């Protein structure tokens, strides 16, 4: 933070001295002196570092001004805000496994998050994902498991009653100071094909030999399943 201070001794000459400090409150009975900047400075700068142990908080440059000629003292306060360093979703670490899924199939999402704030630890981060259907409808957020090493994981699936198509996965990371980063990924969701479990010909199973006389009908019976309970038809 860089600041300049202009002190005017008009309309009459004054004999000013001043001290510059950084405090956390304008109430002198409650304020804590964060550090001293110096005396009689017209320009000064300092780094927003770990001395400011609360982010998104208002701090104050306090000017203690005194007129030694008249033994008069007064304080002036100039506020500034120490902003939070936002968490960052490492987009390159976002992995859907498998990368394309079918309805009712489990999918695992893994990703990493970083935060340069030294007061933010892995356990201070929460990550959630919200599924947006191709129709635009939003599902309820799903909170990812925090592995306490800056990595996050969850396993989810798309219901059999949901449409196929491209889904948007809205990922949000939030730290303890309510700083948020977000990223939207996409995931293609397809249809499950029906599966033939077994079949028989004229009442004989598929592992038996079938013999018929010329002109006799062949009657095929199929046992078919579909995890989506889809209604369909059989075409020979």
All structural domains of the chain with their residue ranges: 2-82, 88-190, 195-225
Q: How confident is the model at residue 171 (pLDDT cuts 50, 70, 90)?
A: very high
pLDDT surpassing 90 at residue 129: yes
Q: How confident is the model at residue 232 (pLDDT cuts 50, 70, 90)?
A: low
Cβ-based neighbours of 185, under 8 Å, separated by 6 or more: 94, 96, 168, 169, 171
Identify which of 39, 23, 19, 118 has the alpha carbon closest to the alpha carbon of residue 78.
23
Q: Do β-strands 100-102 and 142-143 pair in parallel, antiparallel, or remain unpaired?
A: unpaired
Residue 124, SS3? helix
Q: Which two tokens stand for residue 197?
A: 């479990």
Does the domain formed by 88-190 have CATH 2.60.40.10? yes
User: What is the 8-class DSSP label of residue 210?
Assistant: -
pLDDT above 70 as % of the chain: 89
Note the pLDDT of residue 225: 63
Q: What is the pLDDT of residues 34-87, one digit of tens each?
A: 999 999 998 999 988 878 877 778 999 999 999 877 788 899 999 999 888 899
d(CA 211, CA 215): 12
Cβ 124 vs Cβ 99: under 8 Å: no
pLDDT surpassing 80 at residue 203: no
Note the pLDDT of residue 159: 92
Note the pLDDT of residue 54: 72
pLDDT surpassing 80 at residue 151: yes
Query: Please, is 19 exposed, middle or buried when counting C-beta atoms within 10 Å of its C-beta (0-12, 13-18, 19+)?
Result: middle
pLDDT surpassing 80 at residue 150: yes
Q: Look up the pTM and report it.
A: 0.67
pLDDT above 90 as % of the chain: 59
d(CA 16, CA 70): 10
Note the pLDDT of residue 177: 86
- State the chain's mean pLDDT as an integer: 87
Note the pLDDT of residue 228: 60
Question: Range with the lowest mean pLDDT among 27-41, 46-60, 136-150, 212-226?
Answer: 212-226
Identify which of 134, 138, 132, 122 has the alpha carbon closest to the alpha carbon of residue 173.
122
Q: How confident is the model at residue 99 (pLDDT cuts 50, 70, 90)?
A: very high
Question: Between 100 and 57, whose confidence is greater?
Answer: 100
């Amino acid at each position: 933070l860089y600041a300049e201070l202009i002190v005017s001794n008009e309309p009459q000459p004054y004999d000013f001295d001043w001290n510059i400090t950084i405090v956390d409150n304008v109430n002198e009975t409650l304020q804590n002196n964060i550090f001293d900047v110096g005396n009689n400075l017209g320009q000064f700068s300092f780094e927003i570092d770990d001395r400011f142990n609360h982010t998104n908080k208002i701090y104050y440059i306090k000017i203690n001004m005194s007129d030694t000629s008249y033994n008069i003292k007064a304080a002036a306060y100039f506020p500034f805000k120490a902003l939070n360093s936002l968490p960052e979703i490492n987009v390159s670490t976002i992995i859907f496994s498998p990368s394309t899924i079918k309805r009712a199939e489990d999918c695992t999402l893994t990703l990493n998050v970083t935060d340069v704030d030294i007061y933010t630890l892995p356990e201070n981060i929460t990550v959630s994902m919200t599924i947006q259907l191709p129709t635009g409808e939003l599902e309820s957020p799903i909170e990812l498991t925090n592995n306490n090493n800056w990595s996050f994981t969850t396993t989810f699936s798309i219901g059999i009653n949901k449409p196929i198509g491209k889904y948007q996965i809205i990922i949000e990371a939030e730290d303890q100071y309510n700083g948020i980063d977000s990223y939207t990924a996409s995931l293609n969701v397809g249809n499950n094909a029906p599966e033939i479990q077994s079949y028989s010909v004229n009442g004989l199973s598929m592992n038996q030999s079938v013999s018929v006389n010329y002109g006799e009908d062949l009657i095929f019976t199929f046992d078919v399943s579909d995890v989506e309970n889809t209604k369909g038809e059989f075409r020979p």
